[in-house]
Structure 1
């Protein structure tokens, strides 16, 4: 075998350029075509398998949704029709409806495998149970969703496991599609390879003929013959080579004539050649050093810009967190300090024997009020931290339940009152009672809190008095309107148009992060399903109008709030 390979190698080395080029390119083209066909077939088979597996999981899920009644009533007839429809598909070999303990309630189709695995009782989603060379086995749990839960219950009820649906799907379609795909890919690859090889052979023939003629002329020139000229024809590159060869021959002839005259000049140049080489080398070395320094400077600048951008992004996020947490943590700290002082007075009075019942009742009432304020603000701080984390993770949502708008908004504004007690500004509240909503009180509270704090931070710069008013009233039969207004300095049109942009603030470095109103817009138009607009003129104050549906839309299944949206109460009237 080795002798045969050596013989073929020797023959290939002794072959013409056209033959070597044709064989080399033909082998490369055929190899690339084969590899491309194999890779394309392999990728196609993976896509087909993924599609068929997804179809099997979807079929198992659909059957599980249609089998709840059969498992609840232990009536196999209630699931017989959807199972028969599923068996009408050519690839579905067997369908089994199993109880929660794994015992079969109904089975249709081909014979079951010898040793079937028991379903996983803790499975929440359909899964691929087993795969053989001939079929897949999919299992989907059948669960009964829990009933309505009270919003005051701590843990949510878990879905009850009723049983399982096991679907056996054959691989005949996969084998057939993969075989057809392989045949098509190899057929197309061979056809394209044949076409390319034919075109390459024609190109090689057109290329090598002028090269042969040029080689013959160059061989004669190598023997020392002068006055030879090559034919300028063939492809442009070969014609250029012929022209260059002719020019070279002409130059050689002229040089032969001028050789004697150049000898003296060459002798003179030989004396200074080394100095010129050294000077040129120094010049090139200096230029290389300058280029290297410039490249190093550019790399350092690039690294500094990257680090600056990272620090700027981190600074903006930290500023936003500090701005949002300042109020609830400050309120909690103030309440805790007040309770500590009251408890100190109570302890001193008790040890001195001067404690009266009325004084004890008054201090106890203040302690209860302070504890309530601390817990409310700490919870608020926790919600703010969670909301900022959610914003960094592209937004999530809070719990959904039924509530009265004036109660939720009133409780929220009560926690904001300490912000106004030690300032020349006041907070006015006008809430229409009895407005029941089925929505998300946490995000609603965050919206109102952000708007009020934004008004307090930006609306009264340079003013010694001011008023922030929060109103809530019905807007038709199915909507609620919340209006947050102030009589502050207002804003220009250019600022108003950018008020909902992330990280846009007129108080950067002074408590503003540029995130408050962006969060407002995101929550109102996203999770709460409403609209928000800002009306403002310089010197005329600012009004933020928020229109919300009384029943919020269902949480999106693929949006930023799909992960955590949970309905604790049913819609009003359900």
Structure 2
């Protein structure tokens, strides 16, 4: 509960609830009774108005028949005895014409009223208008309409009766509420005092923790049951505390004997933890060294392959140049001996052109191989960003791997836009692609003569590269797929596999490129790697200007 929470005592609650229910019930019943009573008064007064209107109508029949307004005027003067009648008008009916004023009665003190025959349709029944009832009744004899009687009666009697009824009801309501309040106070005392005593007992036990006290009996059944249940709870609490004291004493004895054992075990655990930390440090150092060795071994293999690949065009160039030297010496001898023929010179020129073309093509090929190797080697050892064409980078990677790839009949297809220029770290991409391709060759295509590798490169959202690597190899089983990126996980244990290739790929993607990598594979259904990493796209127009 918050400090600002407002509490209600049970005493106050009993008074409020009982008085609220009683007041609501009395107000509702009194209101209904008062409304019915006022309605009865009103209906009774309306009945009297209707009776007088009918009586005046019947008395006015002879006067209207004989057109004697004097007699009727004398008859209306007798209405002085009916104190609530204020005004009476009698109108004569003429066929085809509007009703005409015949005679009237006005009680003393009331001002004459204008003619009311225009309200015949509205005042067919008594209508309360202001402080008076108004009604217009037709005067008929043997089915013939003779005229109309307009009667205005005072509603002052209704107002007096209404006021009297309201005052009487309010007085009775106040008396009943006072009596109810006194009875509620008595009920409050009989109900609340035992509860207050119980609350006081609970608070005292809570503060003093004296569980020997007990609740006293009451003459209220539910509170008596509560008190007995509370006493039973106190008995159980006493028993529990007694048992807990015994258990604490035993625990202290055990604790005293265990502290010494814990101290010895703690020292042993500290030594074991220290040894474990040192072992983990050595393991991490060994792991970093293994990863570095893996990178250098990959670079060494590439150097050896490129050196072997460069030997071929250089050897062909050397052979062609040797042949040129031999033919040049032969031509020189014939020239000095002055036996050189035009046909020999022409043949020498033709062979020289052919040999020079061979030397040029092979030296150019060697230069391309060396340039590609140089760029790949620089990328692998560099951690800085550079601007490059993604398609050209992939071509350089595949060219540097050709000494290894030409041993196999596997197809590698690159799906990348030629005009895709980006700025990012090229070295990690080199190592990722090389490791994925070698992983497919060594593991995925182990018993497959002709495999297929597709590499899809796509720029998404303007600043992210999505590299999708797919092969149709034998796939990865589920138990190995879950741990594929863990270090030292390999199926070639003891056969030259270190188990660091995919771990290196994962670190390069997530740490060097700040990207993410996911794998999808089923056994015998190939493998698919999805690599996503941020880059900065370079417009081709900007590249053209800079070049």
TM-score by length of 1: 0.38
- If you compute each CA radius of gyration, which structure gives the higher value, 1 or 2? 2
More helix as a share of residues: 2
TM value normalised by structure 2: 0.39
